[in-house]
Every structure is written in C-alpha cells, then in structure tokens.
Amino acid sequence: MKLQTPAVDHAAVAHAIAVLERGGLVALPTETVYGLAADATNEAAVRSIFAAKGRPADHPVIVHVAGAGAIDEWSKDAPPAAYALAQAFWPGPLTLVLKRSGRVSNVITGGQDTVGLRAPGHPWAQAVLQALGRPVAAPSANRFGRVSPTTADHVRADLGVKPNGAVDLILDGGPCPVGIESTIVDLTGGQPRLLRQGSISRSDLERVLGRAVDAPDAGAPRVSGSLERHYAPRTPLEVVVQEGLADWLQQSRAKSLAVLAPPPVLAAWSGKPVPLFSLAAPDNADDYARTLYANLRTLDATGAEWIVVVTPPLGERWLPIHDRLQRAQAGSLHADSNAEFD
C-alpha cells in the first residue's frame, strides 16, 4: 500500500521558517520519522533540542541538508563513495557519516570529529530546507527512550507544544511513508560500515559501491544511543516465534495480551488467554515498517499485561524490523539493557 503525502502547506512552511530563524524548534515530517529540527547554524537552538528530548549531550544529531551540493560545506575529505551514495539515494532515507567540516558545531557532533548528513526526500522537509537556505539539525522527535514518532499526533503526545510542551511548532505532513529511521553508513574508515539498518539495505549500498560494506556490529564506533537504556513501549514486549507461541503462553502465565501477528495466526488462536486486543501484521516488509511504531504505541495503550509480537519473516528487507523489535523487547524487559531508542 502506497501512502499519499498531503500537498505542502506553504503557509505552514513559512511559519516554520520564521520559528527556525528565531532559534525555535519545529517538528518536521520526513519520509522516515518526524524530526525535531533546529537551525544547524544556531548553537543555542541546537542545544535546546537536547533539553526538549531529555537526551544526553554526547549523542550526535543528524544534519539534514537539501542535497548532495551541501556535502563539501558540511563535511571534509568526503570519499568518492559519499557522492556515489548521495547520487543513488538522496534525497532519501540514507545518512552518511563523514569527517566534519569547520561549519559543524560541537553541539551537533557531541564532540566527535564526524558528522551525519542526510538529505530527506519528504516534500515538506525539502520545502523547509529550500526556504531556510541552510541545514537543520534534527534527531527523531520523541522523548529520549521512546519509539520514534511517525505522525504529528505522536509528537504532540510525546513532546507537546509550548507553553506546556517542548516544541514551538509541529508541521503535520501526514504519516511518514517509510516509518523507520534512516540507514546510517559510516564512510570515515577504510571500509564502509553500516551503523544502523533502515529501508536501504546493506546489499543496496554494496550494489552502488561495488564493494563490501561491513555489518553493523563489526566493532563499529559507538553510535552513541546504542548504550542507553530505554523504556518504550512501557508494556513488557516479547517477540515469539509462531511455533513457540503455545509454550510461551503457558510459561508466561500472562493474564492479558495485546498481539501483533499475521492474520492466519490470529484466526487460528487457540491459546489462553485470548488476546485483549490484536493487530494484523502486514505480510510485506514495507507496510510492516511503515506501521510498526504506530502499532507498538497502539498495543502499548491497551493496558494489556504483555505485548506479544509474532516473529516476522526472515530476509534482508526484514532486518531493520527485527532490529527495532529486538530493541523494543530488550528495553521493555530490562531497564538497564543495551538496546535503545534515542
């Protein structure tokens, strides 16, 4: 199912530009998730992102640019691979980690000597970047530890609008069409290295580069968030293989469940308890990813004792989904776990 993005509201974009120019925070739709944007050239504004999210200062934020023309200004010594990947995937859900240029503030990089650059493809984000004429720094627009927002309502619920909330303006550009965060590839070492899985896969990158890309965990430099605990969803969540469901139900003695599973599993449910609430899991990876965070929020809000997610299919397109589910599971069960959402 393809999602229709609403036409850009130019009056709303003009309002967003005014807010950004005076150092304010704008929640901005991108094709992946909503970002919490500040003028990347305004240090005080970027600093206020961290306060709004409750995020530690040493977590770098991504610099969102209009296109590949910004690479030379915002990074230095970018290798040919950077231009090749930008040409193939920008604007789009790919973040390139490069050596930072003198333009990039320490507040953005969290003190690191690298910077993450991404040109988002969402027409509303593009409209803002073009009208502003300079990049915005933006992490996902959730409180630190919560799953990323994929609708304006998620941002409203998580961060809220001033004076009682943390954001000056939420631009509502509809639900995000990709639904999970961008693929991040580090190009600062000898070999390109995947730091975060997204809808652009490792083999997509390898096809364009004509060379191998290292896997995420191969001694990667710290993607800062990955050491942090998180608490989302609040309901304990377990990813269970379909064949193990009956055993899990018996062992867990859960009294009430909210379930995300393929329709045949739901139709044939014979276990006890019967789900308090259930959602049909899409059978293709794009739809699953697009709806994942909204589904987790819905399941979390049911008041069930447990969330059970039946393990999605295997295969490369499903890897970023398995990754996000593992984080949700680890974070919901162990407050001091290594998994995270930042």
Residue 89 to residue 86: CA distance in whole angstroms: 5
Least gap, CB of 303 to Mg ion (angstroms): 26
Q: Which residue number, 109 or 329, has a Cβ lying nearer to ligand TXA?
A: 109
Among 97, 129, 187, 308, contact with ligand TXA (rule: CB under 6 A): 97
Per DSSP bridges, beta strands 277-280 and 193-196 are: unpaired
Among 16, 19, 29, 35, contact with ligand TXA (rule: CB under 6 A): 35
Q: Which residue number, 120 or 177, has a Cβ lying nearer to ligand TXA?
A: 120
Nearest to 305 by CA among 332, 324, 323: 332
If one asks whether residue 32 binds ligand TXA (CB under 6 A), the answer comes out as yes
If one asks whether residue 331 binds ligand TXA (CB under 6 A), the answer comes out as no
Residue 92 to residue 6: CA distance in whole angstroms: 18
Considering CB distances under 5 to 8 angstroms, the limit depending on partner class, which of ligand TXA, Mg ion, none binds residue 114? ligand TXA
If one asks whether residue 104 binds ligand TXA (CB under 6 A), the answer comes out as no
Stretch binding ligand TXA (CB under 6 A), from 109-117, 150-158, 308-316, 321-329:
109-117
* Residue ranges with strand state E in the chain: 26-28, 35-39, 63-64, 75-76, 94-100, 114-118, 136-137, 169-170, 183-186, 193-196, 237-240, 257-261, 277-280, 306-310
- At which residue do the structure tokens 């639900």 appear? 175
Least gap, CB of 175 to ligand TXA (angstroms): 14
Considering CB distances under 5 to 8 angstroms, the limit depending on partner class, which of Mg ion, ligand TXA, none binds residue 116? ligand TXA
What would the two tokens of residue 281 be?
Answer: 């899991």
Adjacent-strand bridge partners of 140: 35
Q: Which residue number, 34 or 318, has a Cβ lying nearer to Mg ion?
A: 34
Binding residues for Mg ion, per CB under 5 A?
140, 342
Residue 14 to residue 310: CA distance in whole angstroms: 44
> Is residue 288 packed enough to be buried (19+ CB in 10 Å), middle (13-18) or exposed (0-12)?
buried
If one asks whether residue 61 binds ligand TXA (CB under 6 A), the answer comes out as yes
Q: Which residue number, 151 or 302, has a Cβ lying nearer to ligand TXA?
A: 151
Q: Which residue number, 238 or 340, has a Cβ lying nearer to ligand TXA?
A: 340
**Count of C-beta atoms within a 10 Å radius of residue 121:** 18
Q: Which residue number, 37 or 245, has a Cβ lying nearer to Mg ion?
A: 37
Binding to ligand TXA (CB under 6 A) within 192-231 occurs at 195, 223-225
How many angstroms from the chain centroid is the CA of residue 228? 15
Could you tell me how many residues of this chain bind ligand TXA (CB under 6 A)?
Answer: 29
Residue 121 to residue 89: CA distance in whole angstroms: 9
The residue at minimum Cβ distance from Mg ion is 140
Q: Which residue number, 8 or 330, has a Cβ lying nearer to Mg ion?
A: 330
If one asks whether residue 177 binds ligand TXA (CB under 6 A), the answer comes out as no
Stretch binding ligand TXA (CB under 6 A), from 5-13, 91-99, 247-255, 328-336:
91-99
What is the DSSP secondary structure assignment for residue 224, as one 8-state letter? G
Q: Judge contact between 249 and 243, C-beta under 8 A.
A: no
Least gap, CB of 106 to ligand TXA (angstroms): 12
Nearest to 232 by CA among 135, 336, 329, 139: 329
Nearest to 298 by CA among 287, 285, 283, 309: 309
Task: Please report, as ranges, the residues that interact with ligand TXA according to CB under 6 A.
Answer: 30, 32-33, 35, 59-62, 93, 95, 97, 109, 112, 114-116, 118, 120, 138-140, 181-182, 184, 195, 223-225, 342
